[in-house]
Chains A and B, each alone.
Chain A
Amino acid sequence: MSTGIKDKVAIIGMGCTKFGERWDAGAEDLMVEAFEEAIADAGIEKNQIQAAWLSDCFEEIHIGKSALPLSLTLRLPNIPATRVENFCASGTEAFRGAVYAVASGACDIALALGVEKLKDIGYGGLPNSGSNSGSLNWLWMPNLTAPGAFAQLATAYAAKYKYSIDDLKRVLAHVSVKSHANGALNPKAHLRTPITEDQAISSPMVAHPLGLYDCCGVSDGAAAAIVTTPEIAKKLGKKDLVTVKALQLALSNGEEVQFNEWDSTYFVSTSKASVVAYKEAGIKDPRKEISMMELHDCFSITELITYEDLGISPRGGAPKDVLDGFFDLRGGGVPAQVDGGLKCFGHPIGASGLRMLYEMYLQLHGRADQRQLKDPKLGLTHNLGGFPFMNVVSIAIVGKEGV
């Protein structure tokens, strides 16, 4: 009988680069920037790290294959290092590898580092892989982009819940306005300018009905976490531990895109992973118990629907919560995208999951400056990679030890 990960692993150090169009930095520079902060925060020596996980997604446009780029860049002492890729869940996957290694007793201290250097391709948006996206996929999958794939949620959601596209766009605008307001308070965010609802609604169309401000930015960045057991953490003199409460992953099996039931207004995988994650963390009522969230707001509609998949809002109820300010930083509900989200950080894919954990870690330690929430206890991060109809979802819950 599995006992879950709750309180078996503590995070003792984290680092995160400034995200943005880092014309000044290659992936190696970003890795070093995140690592230096994390190792200093942990207060350990590099040689104390016994295993490492590296995450990125589009390795072909920056670091290339294998975990060698991590080992070479940081000059790690010939320890095991593994590169993981699982679409947008990659960063959380690296974290999962490190956490499970420590929990299993295979090593005492492990590193997870995610990086993505997207802005070396010469054009906006994510890379277009063409026929390199899989030799069979190329022959039949629609000519789709990420915004177009997710925009379909909005047309289906509007049809199911009988919203006009204009009304739904106002709800989505509020999602983005809230994130921009938070990002404006964060010196590490890429986009730091607050926006208005009208700006969001009237922004140029990217994929109907999603406009520019419904889409997250495209950025470069890296983030890192150093983990160990609570016992070792205490021996190292750490206090007020932030521990891992749940770490779950769920993947589509093709039912959404091939079977006849899913209606394109929710994420099957998020709905399933959240239930398991809450059980692992011992959470009964997430709407009351979760203090804050960093959700995978690749697009505003993704965030809206995720509120429902996580059981924070009832089905069809997320728009009301959004308009009530339930997810705003000072809205009295469950603040979401506390650091500005993907909306303001952009989405250097391999780094995003760890960047989200970084904000939870800062908040739980009371180090989030202007964004600091009052006494947060549990933070939830969520990544969704792939497409609405076929995806990889990761959910991590971290919190104060003993909560």
Chain B
Amino acid sequence: MSFKDLRYFTEMMRALGYPRQISMENFRQPNFPLVAEILMWLVKRYEPNASLPHDIDTEDDRVIFIKYVSQFMATKTRIKLNPKKLYMADGYSVQEMLKVVTMLYNAVKSNKADHANEDVTERSFDVSNKISELKQARQLATEITMSGAKLYELLAVEVDLRELRLAAVARPLEMAQIEQGMKNKVVSIENEIKGTQNKLDNIANDEANLEAKIEKKKAELERNNKRLKSLQNVRPAFMDEFEKLEGDLKKLYEVYMEKFRNLTYLEQIVDAYDRQQQVKVEETEKQLRRMQEQLREEEKKLFNQTDTFENFADDSDGEVKDVKSRNPRIVGAMEASDSESEEGSDYISSGSELAGEGEMPISDDEEEETDSENYDDKDDSDDIDF
């Protein structure tokens, strides 16, 4: 009897869920009823249907009980219990019972460990999942009824079949017949073996055949490849002509392009020239108008001089007016000439073809008409050059 064993025993029984509390002191004195109860419970844990003798009142009954339990444990669980110690029903019996309990406890413990490893998912209340389950359950239910009916039918047939089976089983066996049967079997198996052997031999032939076929296919592939290459190398007859024509077309296109470019350039120059002319025309018109006014005034003066003696006081006024009118005229002329010369030089530098034309006409206000004629000549010569 040991403190440690008792402690272990009580702890394990608690963990196994034994309904009563076992005290450390329960086995100080022999306590057969408790031992018997625990043993009964343990036996029921192994085999719920086990039928145990319940009587433990007399000595004989107890012996029978212990015997039964130790036999049960030996056969079902391969645990050898010492019936003498069990019968003593004290600390030593605890040692015996501990063997059984330890096994159960370890089983529970390892099982718990497995459960602990699994992820414990919370029970979901999702109904949609359940619907599929319901369907499955219904299907299963129908299957069960069907198979039940089938089973029932089969069982009904069983009555007849049983007789036949029993007859077959009951029929005495004849040695000769058996021997014959065996021999037949042996022969058939031998045939089978031969067949297999043959097949094995043939495998080599098949292999060779396949090899040859592969070879043939390979050669074919090569030939086809060669043909493809040769075809690619052949040059069609019209090719030379095509290339030549292509070259001509290229040249022609270049010429065309040049001409087109010149044309657009010249058009641009013509436009610029026209604009210039327009400006010049306007300028001359202005000039002419001014000259006309001047002339008119001079005429007026001359007209006035005849009246000098009559209106002497007016003379000084007239002179002042004359100075005033002269000044703006000079300024205006200077401006016009300046702007003109600049424009002209611009044109010269931009036109590449005109570089050879040396003379740059610079003219006074009086020579404007001739100047414009000169420009016209130049334009003509340009056209010829193209």
Query: Do A and B assemble together?
Result: no
